[in-house]
A = this chain, B = another copy of it.
Amino acid sequence: MAIAPSSSAASADSGSADVSPAFSPLYQQIKTLITRGLQEGDWKPGEAIPSEMELAQRYRVSQGTVRKAIDELAADNLLVRRQGKGTFVATHAEEKIQFRFLRLKADDGSDPRMDRSILECRRVRAPADVARALELRSGDAAVQIRRTLATEGQPLVLDEIWLPGHLFRGLSVERLSEWRGPFYGLFETEFGVRMIRAEEKIRAVAADEVSSPLLQVPLGTPLLSVERLSMTYGEKPVELRRGLYRTDSHFYRNELS
């Protein structure tokens, strides 16, 4: 490490002007190196990464510089600091919260505990729109999962999940049914695919012939349509999830700042 600050670009990070030198500070370079390590599986989810001191020596920078890099990675939820123990690779597997990405709350503000039922899991050729979202070639294999979530006997969520076939070989109804905990934990430990970030497009739609019986609501009932595209390291999309939520006794909670 220790590229002279005023020297060439090395490895930029976020967007910037084109012609300009665009050199990145040391801690950004360290951040890039650690991210690469995560991406390439040097340290697996749940494991500890080397101590700040060790990384500082390895990269030939001061401990404070490593610290700043790790600070930002922790802010991005890629790493988790634990005082006295070390810094760990974030994981969906050991999360207290059942559904980190599911923002549904009961009307009284409580977190509903959900019972899952898998309706279907099969390998098919990705439809055009799915292929586009997941950056597959049209005709590539994809895994399609359909499932419902229910709370207290009431169906609440109907999900259709699309995954790139080449990353999820051997995924079956059985594997899904046996698994306790969130799917993202399964994806991570069994297939090495970790979801980092997601974007959602939310709309209001009417229950149709398919969704109405499954969610046990009359045809035409307003439902929340949530289309989620999840990304792994390097902004690579690896899951498209289309959900329909009943919002008669629950709501989608969001925070703005």
Contacts and interface: CB of A to CB of B under 8 A. Distances in A.
A228 B256 contact: yes
Nearest to A195: B256
B224 A206 contact: no
B222 A255 contact: no
Interface stretch (A111-119, A143-151, A197-205): A197-205
Interface stretch (A6-14, A25-33, A53-61, A245-253): A245-253
A233 to B, nearest CB: 13
Contact of A201 (B200, B223, B253): B253
Contact of A198 (B101, B103, B247, B257): B257
Given A205-B204, A247-B203, A247-B204, A256 B198 contact: yes
Given A76-B257, A257-B77, A223 B200 contact: no
Given A204-B204, A205-B204, A252-B202, A257 B222 contact: no
A196 B220 CA distance: 38
Interface string A217-243: 000101111001000000000000000
A254 interface: yes
Q: Is the contact region of chain A dominated by helix, strand, or loop, or is it mixed?
A: strand
B205 A222 contact: yes
10 contacts: A75-B75, A77-B257, A199-B253, A200-B256, A201-B253, A202-B202, A202-B252, A203-B251, A204-B223, A205-B247
Interface of A: 75-77, 101, 103, 105, 196-206, 220, 222-225, 228, 245, 247, 251-257
Given A200-B256, A204-B225, A222-B223, 5 more contacts: A198-B257, A199-B255, A199-B256, A203-B247, A222-B222
